[in-house]
Each structure stands twice: as C-alpha cells, then as structure tokens.
Amino acid sequence: MEAANAIADPVRREILVLLHEGRRTAGEIAEHFPISRPAISRHLRVLRESGLARAEYTGRQRFYVLDPAPLAELADWLARFQRPEPWRQRFDALETEVHRTRREHAARHPEEKESTA
C-alpha cells in the first residue's frame, strides 16, 4: 500500500494530476507550486519509489511519467468498503420476483410454453 502513503500528501496528488495530463520535467512540475525545487524532487522520489511515477530519459532530459498501476491495488482495497447502490438491490429483487412469478406460472400452466421472442 505504498501508493496510499504516496497520495496522502496534497502536493503529490497534484503532481499525479499533472502527470496524468502528460509527461513533464521536474522544472515544469516545480513551476506549478510555491515550494522549492528540492522539495519537488523529494516528492518525485516518493512517487517513483511507490511506483506511481517513473523517469524516462530523452537525451539529457529526464521526464516524469505517471504509472497508475499501483492505484489499482488501492482501488480494489477501497472498493470493499463501498455499499452496492440502492437501485441495484432493487433491480436484483425485481429480477428474483420475475423469475419466481415465471416459475409459478409455468407450474400452473404446464401446457403453455413461454415465448422467447
């Protein structure tokens, strides 16, 4: 769950948003924040170590790129705490009732075949 620790900081979350828009250099990222470049470098290191960002080199330039794969594990973990939507429960109940009614009708009228058209 390193991704959870990495996204706990609002600056790192904003960096991820920037990287979602496209690859950027550390300087381009730093321009968006009122903090020092060394602080941005530390945030980028945390994102790299958590697997959420990686560095790509083009010539002598280093670009940072988003890697959302670690977020999938976090999303799966968070999904356990979500309740099903109330309408989904109602549709499930309706589907059960339709099947029950069809079975009862078929039992009372065995000579009729249900139309599949």
Provide the token pair at 43. 């945030």
Question: Tell me, what DSSP letter sits at residue 57?
Answer: E
- For residue range 100-115, list pLDDT tens digits in order: 888 888 888 887 765 5
For 68, list phi and psi in degrees, rounded to 5.
Answer: -80, -5
Q: What is the pLDDT of residue 54?
A: 96
- For residue range 64-79, list pLDDT tens digits in order: 999 999 999 888 888 8
Q: What sign results for the dihedral spanned by CA atoms 103, 109, 114, 115?
A: negative
Calculate mean pLDDT across residues 13-29: 96
* C-alpha distances in Å from residue 95, one per residue of 62, 91, 92, 116: 55, 6, 5, 17
Q: What is the pLDDT of residue 114?
A: 52
Q: What is the pLDDT of residue 76?
A: 87
Calculate mean pLDDT across residues 22-50: 96
Pairing of strands 24-25, 61-66: antiparallel
The residues, ordered by sequence, that sit 6+ positions from 49 with a Cβ below 8 Å of its Cβ are 2, 6
Q: What is the pLDDT of residue 59?
A: 93
Q: What is the pLDDT of residue 113?
A: 64
Higher-pLDDT residue of 75 and 84 is: 75
